Amino acid sequence: MTKLRDHSIEPYRKAFLLSVFSCVAAFSVLWTWLAYHQIWRGEIFRHLSENNRIRLEKVPAPRGKILDAHRAVLADTRPCFDVAAIPEEIHDYGALQRALAPIAPLPQELLAEQIESLRKSVPFQSQALWKDASWEVVAYLEANRIRIPGVLIQVNQTRDYLGGDLVTPMIGYMGEINRKDLEEELEGQYQAGDWIGKSGIEKQWERYLRGRDGGSQVEVDARGRQVGFLRKRDPIPGKNLVLSLDGGLQQEAKMSLGDRAGAVLAMDPRDGRMLCYVSQPSFDPNHFIRGISPEEWNALRNDPRHPLTDKAIQGLYPPGSVFKVILALAALEEKVVVPGEKLFCGGSYRLGSRAFRCWKSEGHGWMDVHQAIVESCDVFFYQMGQRLGIQRIHEYATRFGLGQYTGIGLAGEKSGLVPNAEWKKKRFGHPWYEGETLSVAIGQGALIVTPLQMLLMISAVANQGVLWSPSLVQRVEHPDGRVYIENPPRQKSELNISPASMELVRRALRDVVESGRGTGKRARLGFAEVAGKTGTAQVIRLGDQRVPSRLLPVETRDHAWFVCYAPADAPEIAVVVLVEHGGHGGEAAAPVARNVLKKYFSLTGRGMEQPEEGLVSFQAKPPDSRM
C-alpha cells in the first residue's frame, strides 16, 4: 500500500475543478428550465391543472374474428354499452345508488360494492359499473343524464360466440385478466380489467387475436365536456383466424351424437388439418362473457359429464379393440405371424391358470389376421400380444403417437399412457405379468389414450405412414383479408411400416365395414367404400360374464369407439367417434361416423343427394332485451 503522504489531489486538480464546474453547470440548466416553466409559464400550467383537465379516452381495438373453413363466423366482436361512472363528479353516493338500483341488472349488494369501490379509485378515470347494458337502460340513462351526474355510457366491445356451444371447448372462452397473468405479462401490454383468452384457441392464439387499443388525450372542462383535443392514436384491430374446421360437419356431428357425452373428430389424412372437432357436453361461452355467477360455475364444474373438459384431448379412455389396428401392424412387421397363418378361437384362451375370454363366447373358429380384424377376435390378438411381448407393443404404440402429445398445442392436453415393464416397476414397484400383456393387446389394461391420438393413428394408416401434427388454424389474416401468416401442416413423424403389412391391414379395415361379417357394417355409405375399426372399451370388469349393455346402468356401460377413413382406396377424411358409455362400438359409434362421412361427401359435391350449399351461417343471437 502506498504511503499516505505520497498521494494528494494535485495531479488531479484540473479534473477536480472540471467536475465542480460540470455539476454547477448541470444544475444551472435544471434551474433555468424550472424557472422557465414555473415562473414564466407557470400560469398556463396552473390553468391546465385546475380548470382544464386532460383525460385519456380509450378506443378499444376490435378483437380478431375466428372463422371456419368456409369463412362462417364462429366468434365475432360486437359493440356493447357499459355503464360507467367518474368518481370526481359524484357528489352523493347514496343518491347514485338509489338512482341506479331499479335499472341495474346486478343484485343490490353487488351494485353497492361497485359504487363503493368508486370512492377508492382514480378520481378522473371512469370506472365501469356493469357491462353490456340493454337498449332501454342506455336510453334511460342518456335521457336522465342531468339528474344522475357522474354516470356515463361507454361504447365498448365484447365477444360474441355465434356458434354457441358448438365450438367449445376447443375455441375456448375469454375472461378478465387476473393478477398472476398480469405480473407475467411483459411490457405492460395488458392492464387490469382487460380481457384475455383463457382457454382453447382464444388463449393459444391470443397474440394474434388481440389488437392494440387506441385512445386520445382530450381536454375537458369542469363539467366534463370536451373542450379540446390533444393527440390520438388509432387502434389496431386484431387479426382474424381462419380455421380448417367445417361448420357443417360440426353441426352434423353434434346432432348425431345427440344427448350423449363423447367426442367426434375428423381430419384430412393428407395434411393433418382438422375438419371437425366436437366434444360433448360443452358449454355456451357467451355465458362467460355476460359474467357467470358462482352457482353456474360450480354447476359446470361439478357436472358428472364434465362439460368443461375437452374430451378430444383431455378425455382418457382405454382404446379397446381399436388398438388391434396397431397390434396387427406390429405383429406383421415383427413377423410373429404370417398373412395366411390361421389360429383357432374357441371363445377363450388359456394362459397359465386363467382363461381370457373372447367377446364372442362361442368363438370365431379358424381365423387369419384379415378375418381377426374384420370380426375383431380377441383370442387371436391375445396370442399376437403374447408373441410380441409388452416391450415391442410399447414401441409400436409409441411409434403411432400414443403416450405422447399430439402437437395440437391446446392447453391441458393429456398424453395418455402406454404401459411397459419399466413403467410398472417405477410406478408400482412390481414386475410385469404376461397376463397384462394380453389385456393390453386388446386395448384394455393400463393402456389409455385420447380420441385425438386415435385420430392421428387412423390417419396415419389412411395415408400409409405419416403421422401429422393436427392443425386447427389454417391461416392468420389481416382484417382486410390479406394473409398475415400461413400455418402449413407439420409432420410429426413417419411410421416406417412396410407397404405389404400396411396393405393387408387396410384391406381388412375396409372389410370391417364393407363385408358381411364385419363389426362396422353400420358405417356403410354405399357410394364410397369406408374402412374402419370398431372398439368397445370396458369400463369396469364384470368378472367372467359379458352382460348386454342395455341391462347395465349407464355409468358402467362400455365406451363405444369407431375409427374410420373414406374413400378406402384414396382417403380424404378420417373420423374418430367416441361415445362415453355408449355400449358397443359398432352399434353406437359407427352410425355417428357414417353421418359425418355422408355430410362430408355431400358438402364436397358427391354422395347420393343434391350437393348442399357450401356455406353455413350461424344464427347470431338476437340482442337480449333484458334490463
Partner 1 sequence: MPSLKKNRFSFFDWFSLSLIFLIGLTGVMTLYSATQGTPGDQGILLHEKQVIWWILGTVGLLVILLIDYRHLEHFAYAIYSVSLVLLVYVLLFGPSISGARRWIDLGFLQFQPSELIKITLTLAVAKYFHHHRSNGPYGLLELKVPFLLFLIPFLLVLLEPDLGTAIILLLIFFSTLLFLGLRRHSIVILLVLGIASIPAGWFCLKDYQKDRILTFLEPSRDPLGSGYHILQSKIAIGSGGFWGKGFLHGTQARLHFLPEQHTDFIFSVFAEEWGFVGSLLLLLAYLVVILWGLNMCSRAKDPFGMIVSLGLTFLLFWHVTINIGMGVGLLPVVGIPLPLFSYGGSFLIVMLLGIGLLLNIYLRRFVF
The amino acid present at 382, given as its one-letter code, is Y
- The whole-angstrom separation of Cα 65 and Cα 74 is 8
15 is a contact residue toward partner 1 (CB under 8 A): yes
Query: Which residues in the 188-247 window bind partner 1 by CB under 8 A?
Result: 188, 214-217, 230-233
Whether the CB-CB separation of 195 and 60 falls below 8 Å is answered with no
CB 450 within 8 A of CB 416: yes
Q: Specify which residues 533 forms β-bridges with.
A: 563
| Stretch near partner 1 under the rule CB under 8 A, chosen from 94-102, 184-192, 358-366, 581-589 | 184-192
Among 96, 184, 193, 204, which residue sits at the site for partner 1 (rule: CB under 8 A)? 184
CA distance 16 to 146: 67
Burial of 17 (0-12, 13-18, 19+ CB in 10 A): exposed
Among 109, 187, 259, 362, binds partner 1 (CB under 8 A): 187
What is the distance between the alpha carbons of residues 612 and 603, in angstroms, rounded to a whole number? 6
Question: Which residue numbers are catalytic?
Answer: 321
Task: State which of positions 120-159 bind partner 1 (CB under 8 A).
Answer: 120, 122-124
**How many residues form the binding site for partner 1 (CB under 8 A)?**
56
Binding region for partner 1 (CB under 8 A) out of 178-186, 344-352, 365-373, 387-395: 178-186
- Whether the CA torsion 374, 579, 589, 551 is positive or negative: it is positive
Per the CB < 8 A criterion, the answer to whether 597 and 564 are in contact is yes
Instruction: Rank residues 20 and 608 by Cβ distance to partner 1 and give the closer one.
Output: 20
Q: How far is the CB of 433 from partner 1 (least distance, A)?
A: 46
> Minimum Å distance from CB 241 to partner 1?
24
Out of 89, 165, 181, 185, the residue judged to bind partner 1 by CB under 8 A: 185
Least separation in angstroms between CB 149 and partner 1: 18
1 near partner 1 (CB under 8 A) = yes
The 3-state DSSP class for residue 550 equals helix
Query: CB of residue 57 vs partner 1: minimum separation in angstroms?
Result: 9
* Per-residue mark of binding to partner 1, 404-433 (x: CB under 8 A): ------------------------------
Nearest distance from C-beta of residue 328 to partner 1, angstroms: 51
Cβ–Cβ under 8 Å, residues 563 and 533: yes
Q: Name the pairing type of β-strands 490-494 and 466-469.
A: antiparallel
Stretch that binds partner 1, among 51-59, 156-164, 297-305, 391-399 (CB under 8 A): 51-59
Q: Cβ neighbours of residue 179 under 8 Å, at least 6 residues apart?
A: none
CB 487 within 8 A of CB 476: yes
**184 or 295, CB closer to partner 1?**
184
From the CB of 179, what's the least distance to partner 1, in Å?
Answer: 11
Q: For the CB of residue 35, give the shortest distance to partner 1 in the complex, in Å.
A: 6
Q: Which long-range contacts (CB under 8 A, 24 or more apart) does 89-93 make?
A: 89/149, 89/150, 89/224, 90/118, 90/149, 90/150, 91/149, 91/150, 93/118, 93/119
**Cα distance between residue 367 and residue 339, in whole Å:** 11
Smaller CB distance to partner 1: residue 23 or 299? Answer: 23
Please identify which residue in 143, 186, 192, 551 interacts with partner 1, judged by CB under 8 A. 186
Cβ distance to partner 1 smaller for residue 32 or 361: 32
Q: Name which of residues 20 to 39 contact partner 1 (CB under 8 A).
A: 20, 23-24, 26-27, 29-31, 33-35, 37-39
- Phi/psi of residue 438, nearest 5 degrees: -65, -40
Q: State the residues that interact with partner 1 by CB under 8 A.
A: 1-2, 4-5, 7, 9, 11-12, 15-16, 19-20, 23-24, 26-27, 29-31, 33-35, 37-39, 41-46, 48-50, 54, 56, 58, 88, 120, 122-124, 183-188, 214-217, 230-233
